Structure 1
């Protein structure tokens, strides 16, 4: 990073958990490079991509200031070193959250040369339709993972497992997941069916043989859950970017889910007309689940 305008930077307060799509704020930090203008505001409705598990893309939108309109090209997680007055972005962040002397922030990336200054009042406006599509994809992915665990629990484990999900089913999703990606109205999960999983007691060969049946049963579970039109609540332990957040959905009949998640989400299952998965065996040890929401 090149030119820096010196100013104290506090941790960002985030608004995306409250379904707020537009807010007024004040600029805390502007940093210009040859390729970008990086802007930090005290609050923001923008969801940044995580530097730890970047499965949920950044929000899109605009920053408005004194009649000028700036496109937010990207939105990333940053960490501000208070002592050295230096901003670190994304994968270059050298500390864990909660480290003394560091403030975690949402960094809005604009085109280079944006005419913005510290203490300017700005309006932040996200693309609400895009965020809603990502939220549908993300919440659908959570439901699909629990539905898959539930179906596999019934027939495909020969041993108990120490790791159970929030519905007390053996947590295939957590054990096997190697990659996830949220996109508009879609979630893609990649699973590795290696020797460790077989040793834990999953009947992998039988599971792969029955893949079409498992897919159908998972979709039946999802249809049953959607029929509840249950609310989805994001419980937050604070307003800051690094405060813990939990995705909560009570499906009734003793099936209540609370799990940590930092993404943006729907507010109710009534927002869906359907959720369906497809399971595809990519290799002897690789399985892909694509969850599609409508």
Structure 2
């Protein structure tokens, strides 16, 4: 493995939260392996996979240099060790964001064959159709999690819980979620219905007996929310990869959601014709919710 060292590496400015899907930008770091070239640029419209909670896939697209297009085969979060001039990628990152002496960056992986130099200018172009499909899936998943909490709040808790969501419903989603995955126009959430959840006061047996009814009620809530055509706003505390970002949607009728989220998202519920869920019991204690957007 060979590396092209650069003293100029800075935290990556991300553009996907602003609806920007292509940009001209300067190359800050290059790292060549036997099969790939890893490229860090000053800014990027690409959403990378998070190394902490990898629910939202990387964007697809191309890097354009001297008129030629090179496929971005992966896009991951990286952390640059300033003192040792070393890049760590994905699960190899040894520090938390905000650690002194480290810059968090977006790393674009290109197949070998591209000859670049630090300080070259390249164009990064996102596959907008694919990004939009992931954005629809991700925002739909947020909506369905709050709709599920809202329906369960009405009947299925026998005592109060210390954790409430922003709509003041007991936060089943937060308590029970063990896995989530965003895909094209879809979001999948896996929930664990163990002893701890029962101790917190959820009537699990009654809930499981009523899954079909719960599913129908959640879909009714989603249908009502979609008709609002409410805007979705991504509020940012800054433009760097590690700056906090918040998904905000005011549904009216006293229901306004603001939650931390680093993914890409729609700009309005008007982009949906329909959002629906299906609930499937995978085992005695494992429940799956698939949210589909159309």
Aligned to 2:293: 293
Aligned to 1:48: 48
Distance in 2, matches of 1:20 and 1:157, equals 43
Distance in 2, matches of 1:7 and 1:68, equals 24
Distance in 2, matches of 1:113 and 1:86, equals 23
Helix, strand or coil at the partner of 2:117: coil
Distance in 1, matches of 2:112 and 2:80, equals 21
Shift of 1:113: 3.2
Distance in 1, matches of 2:215 and 2:38, equals 44
Q: TM-score, normalised by structure 1?
A: 0.99
1:104-131 CA-partner distances (Å, limit 9, x unpaired) = 0000000023211111111100000000
Ranges in structure 2 where 5+ consecutive residues have no aligned partner = none
RMSD across aligned positions (CA): 0.5
Q: TM-score, normalised by structure 2?
A: 0.99
Aligned to 2:106: 106
List 4+ stretches of structure 1 deviating above 6 A: none
Q: Does 1:20 align with 2:20?
A: yes
Deviates more, 1:147-156 or 1:109-118: 109-118
Ranges in structure 1 where 5+ consecutive residues have no aligned partner = none
Distance in 2, matches of 1:162 and 1:49, equals 32
Q: Does 1:217 align with 2:217?
A: yes
1:39-60 CA-partner distances (Å, limit 9, x unpaired) = 0000000000000000000000
Shift of 1:150: 0.1
How many correspondences in the alignment? 293
Distance in 1, matches of 2:193 and 2:113, equals 49
1:2-151 equivalence runs, <5 A: 2-8=1-7, 9-151=9-151
Aligned to 1:205: 205
Distance in 2, matches of 1:276 and 1:84, equals 50
1:86-142 CA-partner distances (Å, limit 9, x unpaired) = 000000000000000000000000002321111111110000000000000000000
Q: Does 1:235 align with 2:235?
A: yes
Distance in 1, matches of 2:117 and 2:224, equals 52
Aligned to 2:177: 177
Contact 1:163 1:171 in 2 (8 A): yes
Distance in 1, matches of 2:178 and 2:229, equals 30
Distance in 1, matches of 2:229 and 2:210, equals 30
Contact 1:32 1:113 in 2 (8 A): no
Shift of 1:265: 0.2
1:174-222 CA-partner distances (Å, limit 9, x unpaired) = 0000000000000000000000000000000000000000000000000
